[in-house]
Each structure stands twice: as structure tokens, then as C-alpha cells.
Structure 1
């Protein structure tokens, strides 16, 4: 468990380590201890009225960093990132630009998929694998 990343929305761990591989469960932009999602405006029924995708990207990357650090890994240990977007057409250019900034030195493999929806009203989620030193 981590004290900085958002609480899981189900019965699963943040990470699972197998040998020198660290598998992260899907990570979204929510903030620990808050129900509000960065950059998301909801109506009274919980439907998304508008969202700031760039805010969500920054929050997701920060949450991944928190989880890695608390598991004894670093950003540069990432070897594979699977990205789930709910609006590829509008959000991919923003995501691609920010990804290039955040991953300027770390160059993990990447797969980006558009999906219909995520379990909470978010527009992005990352699934990551890191390779860490066995001595950590």
C-alpha cells in the first residue's frame, strides 16, 4: 500500500512483485482522500460535463511515480506502459505530447488503446510494468 497514491476502487493491490518485475494495477488520476477527479466537472447525476485532460495526465503520471517509489522502484525502471484513453481522437495529441516530456529519458514500450469507459469518470488509466534491481 502507499500513503500518497489514491485508494484502489476495488479489491486489488497497487503492485505485485515477481522476481525483478513490478506489476502495477491500473492507475488513474484520482487523488488520495478525495472523491473529486482532477479537471473533471460532473452534473448532479455523476455524468461528465467537462474535463481537463491535461490535468488528468499530470495526476496519473504523479500517481504512478508515487506507487513506484513506495515499492522501491524509480520512474526510469518502467519497461512497459499500457494506456487506456476514453477519447483517442481528442485526447491522444495531448497525451502524446505530455508522454514525450515525462518519458524523455525513460523509454518504456508503450501501447495505447481507446476504450468505451473506465470504472470511474476518468479519461485515462495506465497499466505499468517496471524492472527493478533485485537488491531493492
Structure 2
């Protein structure tokens, strides 16, 4: 049995930083690529302060997380799904020690009522000067 597949490229969320789509639908499941806090059409990263050389001076994990959540919502909506259909989340943080508590607070505000499964890992670095990225699985249809 072959499941129908469809590639999703949102025209509203931040552009992918590599050769991959925002998401791929397989049957009634939607698999999102790692989604960060950048904004479409901009190099600025919400919550991240950098100097002229591109060195991160400081960042606000709450502002980054809110922007990630916005991008995820946009992708889900463009795919024909919804925030409430999220069933699994993998969170990548660059500093669990610094950011885990504050991230959990903002996460609870946005995900508390739907309670998806979740895994959180600390990573040494993400592909751009960001400090949080989410990988999401949702249902569709």
C-alpha cells in the first residue's frame, strides 16, 4: 500500500535555510522540518541582538520561541492543518541550563491545552545564530 505524499512550502513562514521543504504530508500525518525563529524575507532574528560582524551579543529565548511558534502555525495553516493537531514536538535548545525554565513557561502557554508528546535536547549549535528550533509532527485532514 502506497501512501500519498505531498511537499509543503509555506509562502508565509520564514524561508528554509537549506534544500528542504517546510513540511511533508504522508497520509494523514504532517512532518515539519526543523523550524526556527527567523522571519520571512528578513535576516533579523526576533529576540537576538548581534553586532555588525554577526556575533550574538544577547538573546531572549521567549521572543525566539514565540517566533518559532508563529512560523509553525503559518506552516500548519498553509498545509491545511492546525495548531491543535500537533501530536509530537522535538525541541532543540543550545543551552538547557540557561533557557529550559523560561522556555517551558512559554511552551506551557502555547501547548498546554493540546499536550503533545515532547522531547527536549541540548545541541551545541544550530545552523543559524538561533537558540531554539522545533521539529513537529501533526495530523491533517
Report if TM-score (shorter chain) is over 0.5. Answer: yes
Aligned length: 133
TM-score w.r.t. length of structure 2: 0.91
Question: Aligned residue for 1:7?
Answer: 15
Question: Aligned residue for 2:122?
Answer: 114
- Deviation of residue 47 (structure 1)? 1.6
After superposition, the C-alpha distances for 1:12-55 in whole angstroms (9 at most, x for unaligned) are 00010111110000000000011010111112332211111111
Question: Aligned residue for 1:67?
Answer: 75
Unaligned runs of 5+ in 1: none
Q: Is 103-112 or 40-49 further displaced after alignment?
A: 40-49
Question: Aligned residue for 2:64?
Answer: 56
- Deviation of residue 104 (structure 1)? 2.1
Q: CA RMSD in A?
A: 0.8
After superposition, the C-alpha distances for 1:93-115 in whole angstroms (9 at most, x for unaligned) are 01101111101221110000000
SS at match of 1:90: helix
Partner Cα separation in structure 1 for residue 48 and residue 84 of structure 2: 29
TM-score w.r.t. length of structure 1: 0.95
Runs of 4+ in 1 over 2 A off after TM superposition: none
SS at match of 1:62: helix
